[in-house]
Amino acid sequence: MPQGTVSRNEKFWKRVDEHSLDPETYELLFKNGVRVGQAPIAEWDYFRAVMEQYPAITKGTSMVAAENKPIELSMCRDIPGQEIFYFNSSDELEGRSFDACENIIAVTFQQAPRQANTMRVAMCPTVRCVHKRLELSPLNNEVEVSYTAPERLYDLNLRTDVPLDNFLIVAPSAEASRRRTSIGNHFFITQGTAERMENVLLIVPRPIRIIEEATPAPRASAK
């Protein structure tokens, strides 16, 4: 959606529970340009109406999380180079430079321990870089080899429990537009044709009941 649709819309965030995260994680993410909260599914129509007031491009993805398999959400591709500065877990500003890369949000789901109707969601910003190195061929010639390697920013990972009657909202905070080198800017704001756009993730847990049927015993053959 156009930049500011959600990140600067305080009416939107008044209906969101931003205290569902522990205070330290929330403040660290907000300072790094990411705003997170939960809202009741019963109020889904309100949030949809707010977003429908603006031009938006939506994409849905479904995942069965019985085996806790990770998925990757590509936020920005084909980046020739970027510099990311972020506050780490010690509240110190840290900077990294990346060449030829892609920005990804890695997500895992699993049932929260001892909570049958709650989904545990974990998210980690990841930069997948293309590296090059020289190797010697069997004929003793130098050959350039390219390979990709993920750089996970674990200091900025998010883990929260989402009840089945809530959904999770992950969006850029106001800091994302103030600091162009922030995580929020690099991962949640993209350059549109005529204006900057912001990406908002809505994660909705849904229960799936798996029924295991007993395999019938083989019949004895008659003689």
Position 67 pLDDT exceeds 60: no
User: With a threshold of 0.75, does the pTM exceed it?
Assistant: yes
Position 112 pLDDT exceeds 90: no
Reported as a pLDDT band with limits 50, 70 and 90, residue 7 is confident
Does residue 198 lie in a domain region? Answer: yes
Q: Please give the full DSSP string across 156-193, using - where no structure is assigned.
A: G-EEEEEETTEEEEEEE-HHHHH-TTSHHHHHHEEE-S
Reported as a pLDDT band with limits 50, 70 and 90, residue 124 is very high
Total structural domains within the chain: 1
Does residue 223 lie in a domain region? Answer: no
Where residue 48 falls (left for φ over 0; alpha for ψ -120 to 50; beta otherwise) is alpha
Does residue 211 lie in a domain region? Answer: no
Position 101 pLDDT exceeds 60: yes
Position 9 pLDDT exceeds 90: no
Does residue 216 lie in a domain region? Answer: no
Does residue 122 lie in a domain region? Answer: yes
Q: What is the domain range of residue 187?
A: 10-61+74-203
Does residue 125 lie in a domain region? Answer: yes
Does residue 101 lie in a domain region? Answer: yes
Does residue 5 lie in a domain region? Answer: no
Q: pLDDT tens-digit profile of 152-180?
A: 999 888 999 999 999 999 999 989 988 99
Report CA 161 to chain centroid distance, whole Å: 15
Q: pLDDT tens-digit profile of 126-143?
A: 999 876 666 667 777 776
